[in-house]
Structure 1
Amino acid sequence: MTLAVSRTFRRPFWVTPFGTEGRRDFFSNRLWPELLRDKDEDLAPNIDFIEKDGKYFLNAELPGLKKDDISISIEDGYVTVSGKKEINKEEEGTSYYLKETRSGSFTRSFRLPGKVDKENVDATFKDGVLTVAMSLEKEAETKKIEIN
């Protein structure tokens, strides 16, 4: 039988005598996973938000969700991604030895660094990854006025 051992690097206590290392281990999820877990922690997606080639790109990892479970909105200088995941209820007569699948919802909002052309936003969802491409609003060009 093989037993996997997880070892985390810890700094010696004399380097940071008042640090948070010991507290972090004491309150780790290994001791009280359900008590310390944030309700929406499991469903909140990992998101990258970048600017490239005159566009903002938001990439969100959303495994297990379908296109219809996701909504995106742009309002008041913020882009918001929301989602909802529903898992079938437990079946009668079934013994679960481990059940880590979760139901719930999430909402993530990000302030846009600049103005976005709301008419030129594209969203794709493929292989559990949502990509939102938002074109930057073109700045008004300075117009020189001739005096008659």
Structure 2
Amino acid sequence: MAYPMALYRADPFAMMRRLSEDFDRLVSGAAPAFPAVHVWQGDAAAAITAELPGVDPADIDISVKDDVLTLSGERRLPDLPDGAVWHRRERGFGRFTRAVRLPFRVDPDKVEARFTDGVLRIAVGRPDTDLPKRIPIKAG
């Protein structure tokens, strides 16, 4: 793969870091976690996105217990025509499970999930009893 010269001028060690990361992954045998997720939180809720290209929404299970959200499912092998042979196969297939510890307990009735363009978006809310309550100060 050719790298633009501008990349080297901006960061002469970028290629070394990438080679080191690739080597570590090769030696440890560790693959990136699947699915890749992002988690962020607000005061009353958190949002989770998971990249699930090629996964049918019917093959995804979402569960929550206390402060752990678990995604599981299966990415199936595509149907190949008779006589077809793989030339290159870089995407993994099969069953997956990913547990994400959230920064608070989750109210199971306040969970909503949407799946669009291979990205699963989940919103999880805190139980009302766990939300911070503002205490008014009375004069005198």
TM-score w.r.t. the length of structure 2 is 0.68
Q: How far off its partner does 1:126 sit? A: 0.9
In 2, are the aligned partners of 1:87 and 1:101 still within 8 Å (CA)?
no
Q: Hey, what does 1:61 align to over in structure 2?
A: 51
Number of residue-to-residue matches in the alignment? 125
Runs of 5+ unmatched residues, structure 2 = 135-140
What is the distance in 1 between the residues matched to 2:39 and 2:21?
31
Question: Counterpart amino acid of 1:139?
Answer: T
Structure having the higher helix fraction is 2
Computing the radius of gyration from Cα coordinates, the structure with the larger value is 1
- 1:100 lines up with 2:97 in the alignment: no
Q: Hey, what does 2:23 align to over in structure 1?
A: 27
TM-score w.r.t. the length of structure 1 is 0.65
Pick aligned residue for 2:107 from 98, 117, 142: 117
In 2, are the aligned partners of 1:120 and 1:135 still within 8 Å (CA)?
yes
Identical residues among aligned pairs (%): 28
Q: How does 1:5-84 map to 2 (within 5 A)?
A: 5-6=2-3, 11=13, 24=20, 27=23, 37-38=29-30, 41=31, 44-52=34-42, 54-84=44-74
Q: CA RMSD in A?
A: 3.4
Q: How far off its partner does 1:95 sit? A: 4.2
Runs of 5+ unmatched residues, structure 1 = 12-19, 143-148
Q: How far off its partner does 1:73 sit? A: 0.6
What is the distance in 2 between the residues matched to 1:100 and 1:115?
37
- 1:136 lines up with 2:126 in the alignment: yes
